[in-house]
Amino acid sequence: RGNRASSVRRRPAAMAALFRTLGIFGGFVAVVGAAFYPIYFRPLLLPEEYKKEQALNRTGIVQEDIQPAGLKVWSDPFGRK
């Protein structure tokens, strides 16, 4: 009976460790997801907004003057292959 009672007492501690571990990994996944949202997912969800922003940013730039010789000239990042 002594072993059974002590094993019952250990379970809450093991569950607490499990929840702590899940919390740490869940927090890490949440931070990575929050970092990727503005970088990757937002442009996919709002392509028109980013097309306008890129057009504004590239106004007055002659690609041939900036692009090193022998490399492909810039292409539309939103263009489909």
Q: What's the rounded Cα separation, in Å, for the pair 25 and 78?
A: 34
- Please state the pTM of the whole predicted model: 0.49
Distance CA 29, CA 5 (A): 37
| Per-position pLDDT tens, the chain of length 81 | 555 555 545 577 888 899 999 999 999 999 999 999 988 888 889 989 988 998 898 888 887 777 777 777 667 777 766
Could you tell me which residues come within 8 angstroms of residue 66 by beta carbon, excluding any fewer than 6 positions away? none
pLDDT at 54: 87
Burial 48-66 (b: 16+ CB within 10 A, else e): eeeeeeeeeeeeeeeeeee
**Predicted local distance difference test score (pLDDT) of residue 9:** 54
* Structure-token pair, residue 78: 């939103």
